[in-house]
């Protein structure tokens, strides 16, 4: 067991990508084996915060007190067997993807942050651009070796329903509490996932480091397609792009796995690196479709052309991949906005105020029109981009130091409207500590009580992840 006890060695573990400040810890424990991890959990009476790669955006890994247990040594990757692969929680998403390049398999979840640890992606139920077709991390986990706050362990497999007890390694059992709460009917990572007749796995994934530790993870893989068809469609008006989304959802000719939106301000920013973006374009839609066999590529592309006729698209100026290099270029284009925002903010010493909200399909166009109206004339630079197929757009407000209060007020207004539409304040980043205020606005006191029952069922002492999801007393 490695230990870090000085302020200098603890300091890196008090940061993540959220810019949250105020973290505090007595020491950092770094177990080098499962046995050491279990001993640490059994023997430790202080509050425990789990630490992954530090790429999170909600301060889940930043402790308020107690100790940190870092899982950084758990990086094993086993061989693929029957379309499954066992990995340690500290394996980086990029390392998994690189490992799978040598196989006939691929792992569909593709969050923008490829340095994220697999354990971290389970903790937040991360998604990415391909969630529109393939689903989110939860859909690609077949089993986990899971340790509770007191060191008890359990192997949780897909298909093990909450109607049956969890039997732990010491012979004890956990029963799912009787509660009324259920999760919103949209893409959502706010609080625990709860649906009737769900698997225990579904609950553990997205639990924000509050129910236990992912010791080892079995991921489901899919057969690698021959090729992806990729393109970037350009529109003269943003509303033209919005209007095509409901049509794509009901269209049988095309079957995209990714639909990613860029507003006019995103395109302005992207023109720094992509000057050949059409000058008359004020919105763009990146799309991608799986082509299982390469010989079907041309036919799939033709279906897109048929569908796109008379759709208010700048079709002649739009981009369609002709080869692997084009596909790679489009992927970089799709991922470029977050890094450009960070670069610009760093130069201008601005802070970013970013949303992660989503609604169900019936509210999609209302949401887009509301975003346009509420942000117009405020004087704060902003961009809107993201997973439009899931009704999940990221607004990034870019206020200067004199506009921070207004930006915070706008965020509050937007959150209130999304909540009124039965949407979520967190669609992929989790709640952690930064979004807890909005989660308490999103759910009722009775709902919070229900979720606290789940927490106490797994962690009766409230030792794990203090401040994540729930207020501290």
| Greatest pairwise CA separation for the chain in angstroms | 67
Integer Cα distance of 322 and 316 in angstroms = 15
**Which CATH number is 118's domain given?**
3.30.465.10
H helices of 125-222, in order, are 131-134, 200-204
Residue 77: inside a domain: no
Element holding 218 (H helix, E strand): strand 213-220
HSE-CB at 107 with a 13 A cutoff on CA atoms is: 33
- Whole-number pLDDT of residue 292: 84
pLDDT > 90 in the chain, percent: 91
- Of 249, 116, 204, nearest in space to 107 by CA: 116
CA distances from 149 to 43, 192, 217, 448 (A): 10, 17, 18, 21
pTM for the model stands at: 0.95
Regarding whether 192 and 146 lie in a shared domain, the answer is: yes
Regarding whether 406 and 279 lie in a shared domain, the answer is: yes
- Span 239-253, pLDDT tens digits: 999 999 999 999 999
> In b/e form, how buried is each residue of 117-139, taking b as 16+ CB within 10 angstroms?
bbbbbbbbbbbbbbbbbbebbbe
Given pLDDT bands bounded at 50, 70 and 90, which one contains residue 452?
very high
Integer Cα distance of 62 and 466 in angstroms = 10
HSE-CB at 133 with a 13 A cutoff on CA atoms is: 16
Give the other-Cβ count within 10 Å of 343's Cβ: 12
Regarding whether 396 and 294 lie in a shared domain, the answer is: yes
- Whole-number pLDDT of residue 350: 78
- Count: domains in the chain: 3
Whether residue 184 is predicted with pLDDT greater than 90 in this model: the reply is yes
Regarding whether 218 and 261 lie in a shared domain, the answer is: no
**Which CATH number is 47's domain given?**
3.30.43.10
Integer Cα distance of 414 and 330 in angstroms = 31
Regarding whether 361 and 302 lie in a shared domain, the answer is: yes
Residue-by-residue DSSP string for 87-130 = E-TT-BHHHHHHHHTTSSEE---B-S-TTSBHHHHHHHT--BTT
Regarding whether 322 and 397 lie in a shared domain, the answer is: yes
Region at 80 (left for phi over 0; alpha for psi -120 to 50; beta for the rest): beta
Residue 44: inside a domain: yes
- Span 26-61, pLDDT tens digits: 999 999 999 999 999 999 999 999 999 999 999 999
- The tokens describing 64, both together, are 């308020």
Regarding whether 98 and 125 lie in a shared domain, the answer is: yes
Query: Containing domain of residue 60, as a range?
Result: 2-70
Residue 307: inside a domain: yes
Residue 448: inside a domain: no
**Bridge-partner residues for 106, per DSSP?**
222
Integer Cα distance of 24 and 31 in angstroms = 20
Least confident of 50-64, 341-355, 432-446: 341-355
Regarding whether 61 and 189 lie in a shared domain, the answer is: no
- Please compute Rg for the chain using Cα positions: 22
- Whole-number pLDDT of residue 263: 98
- Residue ranges of E strands in 292-414: 319-320, 353-354, 357-358, 382-387, 392-397
Q: Are 52 and 119 in contact (CB under 8 A)?
A: yes
Last residue of a domain, one of 420, 436, 458: 420
CA distances from 269 to 21, 115, 146, 402 (A): 29, 24, 44, 22
- Whole-number pLDDT of residue 322: 86
Given pLDDT bands bounded at 50, 70 and 90, which one contains residue 351?
confident
Regarding whether 100 and 210 lie in a shared domain, the answer is: yes
Integer Cα distance of 104 and 6 in angstroms = 46
- The mean pLDDT value for 448-460 works out to 98
Residue 435: inside a domain: no
Regarding whether 194 and 301 lie in a shared domain, the answer is: no
Residue 75: inside a domain: no
- Whole-number pLDDT of residue 406: 97
């Amino acid at each position: 067991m490695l230990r870090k006890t000085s302020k200098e060695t603890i300091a890196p573990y008090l940061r993540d990508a959220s810019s949250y400040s105020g973290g505090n810890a007595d020491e950092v424990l770094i177990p080098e084996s499962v046995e050491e991890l279990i001993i640490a959990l059994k023997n430790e009476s202080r509050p425990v915060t789990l630490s992954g790669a530090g790429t999170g955006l909600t301060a889940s890994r930043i402790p308020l007190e107690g100790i940190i247990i870092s899982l950084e040594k758990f990086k094993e990757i086993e061989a693929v067997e029957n379309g499954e692969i066992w990995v340690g929680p500290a394996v980086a998403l990029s390392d998994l993807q690189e490992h799978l390049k040598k196989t006939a398999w691929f792992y569909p979840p593709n969050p923008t942050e490829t340095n994220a640890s697999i354990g971290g992606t389970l903790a937040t139920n991360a998604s990415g651009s391909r969630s529109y077709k393939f689903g989110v991390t939860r859909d690609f986990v077949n089993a986990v070796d899971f340790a509770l706050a007191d060191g008890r362990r359990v192997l949780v497999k897909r298909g093990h329903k909450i109607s049956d007890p969890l039997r732990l390694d010491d012979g004890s059992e956990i029963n799912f509490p009787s509660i009324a709460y259920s999760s919103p009917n949209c893409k959502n990572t706010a609080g625990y996932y709860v649906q009737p007749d769900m698997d225990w796995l579904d609950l553990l994934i997205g639990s924000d480091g509050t129910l236990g530790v992912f010791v080892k993870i079995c991921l489901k893989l899919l057969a690698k397609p021959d090729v992806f068809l990729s393109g970037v469609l350009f529109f003269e008006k943003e509303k033209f792009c919005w209007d095509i989304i409901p049509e794509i959802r009901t269209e049988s000719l095309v079957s995209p796995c990714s639909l990613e939106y860029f507003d006019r301000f995103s395109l302005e920013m992207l023109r720094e690196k992509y000057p050949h973006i059409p000058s008359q374009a004020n919105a763009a839609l990146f799309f991608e479709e799986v082509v299982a066999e390469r010989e079907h590529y041309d036919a799939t592309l033709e279906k897109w052309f048929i569908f796109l006729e008379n759709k208010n698209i700048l079709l002649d100026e739009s981009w369609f991949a002709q080869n692997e290099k084009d596909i790679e270029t489009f992927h970089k284009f799709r991922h470029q906005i977050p890094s450009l925002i960070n670069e610009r903010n760093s130069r201008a010493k601005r802070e970013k105020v970013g949303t992660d909200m989503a609604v169900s399909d019936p509210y999609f166009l209302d949401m887009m029109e509301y975003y346009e109206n509420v942000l117009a004339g405020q004087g704060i630079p902003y961009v809107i981009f993201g997973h439009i197929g899931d009704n999940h757009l990221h607004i990034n407000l870019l206020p200067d130091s004199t506009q921070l209060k207004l930006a915070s007020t706008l965020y509050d207004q937007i959150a209130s409207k999304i909540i009124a539409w039965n949407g979520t304040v967190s669609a992929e980043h989790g709640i952690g500590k930064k979004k807890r205020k909005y989660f308490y606005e999103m759910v009722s006191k009775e709902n919070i009580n229900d979720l606290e029952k789940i927490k106490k069922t797994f962690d009766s002492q409230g030792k794990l992840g203090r401040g994540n999801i729930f207020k501290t007393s």
